Structure 1
Amino acid sequence: MAEAIYDAMGSVLTRWTMGSAAAPAAAVWSAELGAEPAEAELRLLALSGQFLGVAVTAEPPPELRVLPDIPALALPTVPEALRPLAHRILNAFKETQRKTELLDFLAARGWTTHPAEWMPTADDEDAPDVYAPWRDWAGIAASNSVVRRQAGDRLTADNWEDFWPAARKVALTELRRRDPEAARAVLEAKLASENADVRLPLLSLLATGLSEADAPFLEGLAANDRAPKVKALAASLLAQLGRGPAVGDDIAELAGFFSVKMKGLLRRSRVIQFENVKTPAQMHRRAALLESADIASLARALTLTPQELVDAWNWDVDRQADAALVGLVARTGTDSLVAQTAEAASQCNASVFLATLTPRLVPGQRSELAEKVLRTRGFSFDVAKTIAGGTARLENPMTAPAGTALLAALRRDDAKPSDELTELFALGLIASRAAARQALERLNGAGLLQGDPRLDMLRLNAALDDNGAEP
């Protein structure tokens, strides 16, 4: 009987699609439909709907697979009332950097986005670590994997394959903080089995807790790894340990571009003078040598320690040399030397190069530098944001010169509704919650409406509870 009904359905649906009566085509139900045409059509509609809904099951396509649920993250999502505001800010900027800054800000305050507003891709390395489970879920969705691998509590060489890539990196980061020796041992066992795009970010984790014990492993990578970027990173980490590659004629030639003089009558101190840079060719050669050198080798060639070299550096005389030194320290200097160089650069015009050093600094140091250049160097909020990142909580930023300049720009007679968008976004990122509320009051007093979209980041900051750890 079911087969007869199923055969009749093709003619019934075809007639209905063409706008014709279908009861005459359903002879199998003629007794149930009755003789009255209108009533027969209604009865046929009810019977066919029940039959198709209950007795007919569509076969799913063979490529269809069931994905695991989107995993919960370690931090809660933005409160429901603030989700539309966070979503609007995410959509306001097309640049990946701006979105990353917002994600960093939210994570620093103890929150994450809702998956309906934003989801990372599997290879989204810039996403905060808290989103690692979502990155792995995206990797599962894009792969042919049917079952999610289950990770153990602690990463080891034996359970390496049990971790999806993003979770593996987070676990290795935590292991490196807790037990540097164990983390290096895992990398020694498993790094070679990964491709270069994976090896590079994993190797960078050795910068945390870097020590002489890491040198043999790094020397092997610097000499034998098949990827130039991995070899360069290994060489950079070795240079931070004072095992730089610049020796012999090159470092002697580089040292010839500098001389160490004494200055002062009562308090004698060293100062670096720049030599042999009278032509573009000489400047180009110096830059090339600095690019391949390391700070420890250069300091030794000048009979100084790296700390003494930075102390003696003659800032603001040769901007190209300032930029090169900052880059040299960022690539090859120790953490303490990076902090020393950042402090020295922040006191002069070389502070424009601070963004090169800030990735090597901890959040608290970055916030202090941002505060300093805002107040002493007259930098904009956007530059301060570049230095501090999304984890700053600056107090009273509107009292800095950048705040005065912002209010003046907004009060101009020819000010446009789109003016100062970048500055206002940056201000919203770097201000503390209390400072964001104070800034909103001052900006409303300057004529900006409460609903002005340029104030979205400040409004989110002011409304969002700060549940994060202090930077």
Structure 2
Amino acid sequence: MSEGRLVLTKYRSRASGTVVLTSVDESLAARLPDLRLPTMPDEARAAFRAILAYETPPANGSLIDFLQLAENRGYSAHPCDWIPDYDQKLAGLHPELYQPWVDWLSEAGFTKFHCGNRITPENFTRFSPGQRGAPITALIKSGRADDFYDVKSIAEAHPASVRAVLASRIYAWGSFDGCYPWQVPLLEYFLADKSDKVSAIARTKLDKMGAFTTELAYARTLAGHITVDPEVVRWTVPPEPHTVPFYKEFACTSFGAVAEALDLAPTKLASRVDLDGLGKDLMVVAATSGDVDVRTILATRWLDHGTGGESLSLSLFDNVPMPLWERGLQAMLRSHYWNSVEEYLGPKSGTLDHPELGNWLAYEDMTASITKELKNRKLPINTACDPLRVLGKIASKAAARQLLEDAVALGMKPDHPRLTMLMFNLAL
């Protein structure tokens, strides 16, 4: 058996010009490591290839919708149909499920090491300087959970030149000029490095932070502009409309730290914060750092307040009680941001039944879009926002079957390319 080869297939896209998608031949497919899910059945593979031909996705991130639907149904793509793009400019953003293929193809020499690979002590030097930045950043971000174990493993296996590269990658990555408080333990690790060059890099970054090395320090700055009244917690002087006050302070603190700086319990702050003022500015902080009690209180208050799904952070609803989660879903269904419904559903995408879809603005727009196309004989300009596509990726199989019947009843031919997502849904 030959060692196999990569297969490049060119498509012509209305939006992106020529698009090249990659797969492998049967010989190479047999050598790839097994994924944690089996490959999809033949009927679904045919529907998957039809989506690739119609949508001509230009990069890995453009395939996530239907790859996620397959994963939710318990399947992976077949490598003879598709593998993640490894182009130096387009790599990354593939679902985690396919990481073993990505890393094996580079380790075996079929692709160069790129920003979509995991970086390790063993392969660090095989990355070009331009391609190792994103993998290092990914390790630093994930390192909050395990005291930066992977970053330190690379540092301890390599000379000072590599440790200097690692230390240099600790910053806010464009959010602001500086470092986050949660990065301080890693900076202190490099501050103790035996190399003067490495320790100087860490010292410079820490000195630039000054006294602002903790979440509480930033929270105290915010607290100086907040008034705590018996019934409400509000800005002392409301910021000007359409401005982003204290961006860095919010990015560098947590909900608990703000509550502590105000001498309040986090749940008390959540219960009393002014929803139309300070609450809006605290929403992302609460969604990313608040515990489930804090998020439950805030999400309930905002929904009771009539706040629409388009104005709510999806992370507010992580692990909240199911009745509240259902209320959040209904708010998302009435949002004009159609794709937020799929993001909200996550692993539950592909399970909504037809009555639930009837509450969605995308369902209301489906009929109009079909009628308009039949009249004007033109496909929708933005394929990603086609209501048939959006519905197809979140509907249950029974709902997808009903949607297909609805579309055909309106005059759409069963083999119309706009139905590819629905057909894929039904084949899984």
1:306 deviates by 2.0
Distance 1:95 1:140, change over 3 A: closer
Aligned to 1:97: 61
In the superposition, the TM-score normalised over structure 1's length comes to 0.56
Aligned to 1:333: 290
Q: Aligned to 1:303, which of 245, 258, 263?
A: 263
Say if 2:95 is the partner of 1:128: yes
Distance 1:399 1:280, change over 3 A: closer
Q: CA RMSD, aligned part only?
A: 4.7
Aligned residue identity for 1:221: L
State how far apart, in whole Å, the 1-side matches of 2:214 and 2:339 are: 37
Aligned to 1:386: 343
Aligned to 2:43: 81
Larger proportion of helix: 1
Distance 1:272 1:116, change over 3 A: same
Distance 1:288 1:276, change over 3 A: farther
Aligned to 1:261: 229
Identity over aligned residues, as a percent?
Answer: 22
Aligned to 2:80: 116
Q: Aligned to 2:238, which of 269, 277, 280?
A: 277
Aligned residue identity for 2:235: F
Aligned residue identity for 1:394: L
Aligned to 2:153: 190
Q: Secondary structure at the match of 2:229?
A: strand
Q: Secondary structure at the match of 1:106?
A: helix
Aligned residue identity for 2:223: A
Q: Secondary structure at the match of 2:234?
A: strand
Q: Aligned to 2:106, which of 135, 139, 144?
A: 139
Q: Deviations over 1:58-114 (max 9, x none)?
A: xxxxxxxx9882233332222112322202223413353330222222111111111
1:444 deviates by 2.0
Aligned to 1:57: none
Say if 2:190 is the partner of 1:221: no
Matches within 5 A, 1:148-163: none
Distance 1:115 1:332, change over 3 A: same
Aligned to 2:421: 457
State how far apart, in whole Å, the 1-side matches of 2:102 and 2:154 are: 20
**Uncovered stretches (5+) of structure 2, i.e. residues with no partner:** 1-26, 113-119, 128-134, 171-181, 192-197, 203-211
Please say if residues 105 and 391 of structure 1, whose CA atoms lie closer than 8 Å, have aligned partners that are also in contact.
no
Q: Secondary structure at the match of 1:411?
A: helix
Please say if residues 293 and 328 of structure 1, whose CA atoms lie closer than 8 Å, have aligned partners that are also in contact.
yes
Aligned residue identity for 2:357: M
Distance 1:116 1:104, change over 3 A: same
Distance 1:361 1:193, change over 3 A: farther
State how far apart, in whole Å, the 1-side matches of 2:93 and 2:111 are: 25
Q: Aligned to 2:315, which of 344, 353, 357?
A: 357
Please say if residues 82 and 460 of structure 1, whose CA atoms lie closer than 8 Å, have aligned partners that are also in contact.
yes
Distance 1:134 1:244, change over 3 A: same
State how far apart, in whole Å, the 1-side matches of 2:325 and 2:69 are: 13
Aligned to 1:314: 274
1:461 deviates by 0.8
When Rg is computed on C-alpha atoms for both structures, the one with the higher figure is 1
Please say if residues 247 and 297 of structure 1, whose CA atoms lie closer than 8 Å, have aligned partners that are also in contact.
yes
State how far apart, in whole Å, the 2-side matches of 1:323 and 1:69 are: 52
Distance 1:100 1:367, change over 3 A: farther
Say if 2:30 is the partner of 1:72: no
State how far apart, in whole Å, the 1-side matches of 2:111 and 2:369 are: 54
Please say if residues 255 and 298 of structure 1, whose CA atoms lie closer than 8 Å, have aligned partners that are also in contact.
yes
Distance 1:100 1:340, change over 3 A: farther
Distance 1:430 1:340, change over 3 A: farther
Please say if residues 43 and 427 of structure 2, whose CA atoms lie closer than 8 Å, have aligned partners that are also in contact.
no
Q: Deviations over 1:260-311 (max 9, x none)?
A: 334xxxxxxx333333135479x55434432333211211233322222222
State how far apart, in whole Å, the 2-side matches of 1:160 and 1:364 are: 42
Please say if residues 60 and 92 of structure 2, whose CA atoms lie closer than 8 Å, have aligned partners that are also in contact.
no
Distance 1:394 1:199, change over 3 A: farther
Distance 1:425 1:331, change over 3 A: same
Please say if residues 310 and 332 of structure 2, whose CA atoms lie closer than 8 Å, have aligned partners that are also in contact.
no
Say if 2:326 is the partner of 1:399: no
Distance 1:460 1:190, change over 3 A: same
Aligned residue identity for 1:443: A
Please say if residues 400 and 426 of structure 2, whose CA atoms lie closer than 8 Å, have aligned partners that are also in contact.
yes
Q: Aligned to 1:245, which of 214, 217, 222?
A: 214
Q: Deviations over 1:96-149 (max 9, x none)?
A: 33302222221111111111221125795533333232112221244799xxxx
State how far apart, in whole Å, the 1-side matches of 2:376 and 2:274 are: 41
Distance 1:84 1:445, change over 3 A: same
Aligned residue identity for 1:272: V
